[in-house]
Amino acid sequence: MITVLTGGTGGAKFVDGLRQIVPPEDLTIVVNTGDDMLWWGLRISPDIDSILYMLAGKISEERGWGVERDTFFALKTMREMGEPGWFNVGDRDLALHILRTRLLADGNALSEATAEIAQRLGIEARVLPMTNSRLETRVLTAAGELTFQQYFVQRRYQDEVKAIRFAGASGAIPAPGVLDAIRSSRQILLGQEQSVVHFALHLH
């Protein structure tokens, strides 16, 4: 078995190449959750979503994130009603966030919700969040401390970075299956995703 620690659009592209040569039943992907956020009351896991959409053959090749041929009517309507609209969530993408939020509200852990969504999308590879605990990448700038999505998407990474911290890392524990996958793998591959690599190093 091969285990990949990764996340983000770059991680999705890496996984896309890897799955061409590794059978899905031999592939476990541990995904960054440090960039997760609440948006319109919904739990969004951008890195998990990118991996899921890539494995399901649904990712937008043009954007590198979100769903191919998605529409943005809900986003347009929310902006018209005065709600924040800087995070570009498409309509088909929104459906996944609604499902995840409902599964979590029903008492499922993030790992359980991810497994359920992966199964519904027909994904055979194992996709695990790095942790079920809340862990946030926080970026300290002259404008104050920002979430990663505020810094990267809303403010388009224009602020000078003074420091980065991973809020909640000291109390976070690996999601079920993560350590077993690492221990039993013949190869462990690290993708370029800062939060997940930091968390993996923190475990040791």
Per-residue model confidence as pLDDT tens for the chain (204 residues): 899 999 888 889 899 999 999 999 999 999 999 999 999 999 999 999 999 999 999 999 888 889 999 999 999 999 999 999 999 999 999 999 999 999 999 999 999 999 999 999 999 999 999 999 999 999 999 999 999 999 999 999 999 999 999 999 999 999 999 999 999 999 999 876 554 444 444 444
- For residue 48, being part of any structural domain is answered with yes
Q: How far is CA 194 from CA 1, 47, 121, 164, in A?
A: 23, 12, 27, 10
Provide the domain limits for residue 79. Answer: 2-133+172-203
CA dist., res. 104 & res. 98, Å (int): 10
- For residue 113, being part of any structural domain is answered with yes
- For residue 148, being part of any structural domain is answered with no
State the total domains in the chain: 1
Both tokens of residue 142?
Answer: 């002259």
- For residue 18, being part of any structural domain is answered with yes
- For residue 147, being part of any structural domain is answered with no
- For residue 154, being part of any structural domain is answered with no
CA dist., res. 126 & res. 144, Å (int): 38
CA dist., res. 24 & res. 40, Å (int): 34
Looking up residue 43, the CATH number of its domain turns out to be: 1.10.8.240
How is 76-145 classified by DSSP, letter by letter?
HHHHHTT----S---HHHHHHHHHHHHHHHTT--HHHHHHHHHHHTT--SEEEESBSS--EEEEEETTEE
- For residue 161, being part of any structural domain is answered with no
- For residue 159, being part of any structural domain is answered with no
